[in-house]
Amino acid sequence: MVIHIGYPKTGTTSLKETLRKYVNHFYYINDEFPKDRSQKRIRYLSDEVFIFKKNNKLNLLIDTIIKTCQNSNYDNFFFSIEDVMNFENFSEEISFSNLSKIVNDVSKNFNIALLMTIRSQRDMFISNFSYSFHKYYGKDINKLIKKLDDRKIIIKNLDFFHKYNLLKAISNNIFILPLEYVQFPDIYKKTFSSIFLLKEKEFKIYKLNSSTIDDNKIKINDSLIFNYLIRFHLLLKKYLLFYNEISMIPRKYLRNYYDSKKNRIVEIEDLNKKKLFKIFIDSNKLLFKTSDISPKISKSYF
C-alpha cells in the first residue's frame, strides 16, 4: 500500500490521473468523487479526522481502510490523504500522530510506503497564498514575506527536511516526488515506476504541464460572492453532499469566477523571492543529502 500524504498544490492531480488511467494493478481509494459506499465512507472519515480533527473517528477510519482492502480483488492499494499536510486548519502534532497510528495498524495487514510530493518553497508559497494564506494574513504577499519571521508556523510547514524526519519516525519506506521532475520526464517516470512497481514503458505521464513550474504571478479574488461560494462548497463537503452531483455546481462557478477578469494579479518582488530561497536553503541541502532526490533539480531548492 502506498499512502500519499501531500503536500497539496504539488502536481498531485496529474499524479492521481496517471495512476487512475494507466496503473491497473493498484486500487485507488479515497478518490475525490468515490462511487461505491466503502470509498465514500473512507473519504468522509478521512476528512473528519484530518480536516475537522475528530479523532474519535480515527479507529473507524483505520478499520474501514483495512476491510475495504481485504474485500478487494487487488493486492496493491493507493490511499491519498493530502490533508495530512494541508495548510488550512493544520495541526502538525495531530496530523502526524494520526498518520502514525494509521501506518502502525494497517501495516499489520499490508506493507506500507509513504509518498510525499513537494515543489520549491517559493512556488509552494505562491500557490498557497493564492489558495488560502490571503484569507488569514492579508492580501499583500510581499508584506507577508517581509514579516515571515513572525509567522514561524508557515516556515515550519514548508520545511521539507523537518517533515521528512517526522515521516522517518513513522516508516522506513519513504518516497519523495518533486514537482520539478516535470522538467525531466525520464526521472519522473523512473521514480513513478519504482513507487508503483511498473516498467517505465508501461505507462504515460498524464497532462504534466511544465509551465506550472517557477510561477511568478498569482491570482486572488476579492469578491464576496467568490468567498461565499467557497464557504458553500466547504459545507457541502462537510455534510457529505460533496459526493453528489450537486457539488459540481458550486465547483463550476468557483472555477469560472476564479478565471474571470475580476481576479487581481499579485507578484512577488525579487528581494522577497531571494528571502524565501535563503530561509530554506540549508534545510533543503540536508534533504537532498539524506534522500534520493535527483541533483538535477537542486537549483530550484538551493
pLDDT digit string (tens) for 57-104? 999 999 999 999 999 999 999 999 888 887 766 788 999 999 999 999
Are 13 and 106 in a shared domain? yes
Report which of residues 209 and 42 the model is more confident about.
42
Are 101 and 150 in a shared domain? yes
Are 159 and 242 in a shared domain? no
Which helix or strand (DSSP H or E) is residue 38 part of?
A: helix 37-50
Are 205 and 226 in a shared domain? no
Are 94 and 207 in a shared domain? yes
Q: What is the pLDDT of residue 195?
A: 92
Q: Domains in the chain: how many in total?
A: 2
Strand partners, 116: 176
| Separation between Cα atoms, residue 80 and residue 196, nearest integer Å | 14
Domain limits at 285? 2-213+271-300
Instruction: Provide the 3-class DSSP secondary structure of residue 111.
Output: coil
Q: What average pLDDT does the chain have?
A: 81
Mean pLDDT, rounded, for 7-30: 83
Are 89 and 159 in a shared domain? yes
| Separation between Cα atoms, residue 92 and residue 80, nearest integer Å | 18
pLDDT digit string (tens) for 212-266? 444 555 555 555 666 666 666 666 655 555 444 555 566 666 666 555 545 566 6
Are 171 and 256 in a shared domain? no
| Separation between Cα atoms, residue 80 and residue 7, nearest integer Å | 11
| Separation between Cα atoms, residue 16 and residue 1, nearest integer Å | 15
Are 71 and 101 in a shared domain? yes
Burial call 33-66: b when 16+ CB within 10 Å, e when fewer? ebeeebbbbbbbbbbbbbbeeeeebbeebbebbb
Q: pLDDT tier at 290 (50, 70, 90 boundaries)? A: very high
* C-beta separation of 187 from 12 below 8 A: no
Report which of residues 241 and 297 the model is more confident about.
297
Are 108 and 244 in a shared domain? no
Are 108 and 253 in a shared domain? no
Query: Which among 50-59, 77-86, 110-119, 153-162 has the top mean pLDDT?
Result: 110-119
Q: Which amino acid is at 110?
A: F
Are 184 and 255 in a shared domain? no
CATH number of residue 90's parent domain:
3.40.50.300
Q: Which amino acid is at 138?
A: G
What does pTM read for this prediction? Answer: 0.84
| Separation between Cα atoms, residue 62 and residue 79, nearest integer Å | 12
Mean pLDDT, rounded, for 270-275: 90
Are 238 and 275 in a shared domain? no
Return the residue matching grid coordinates 490571503: 134
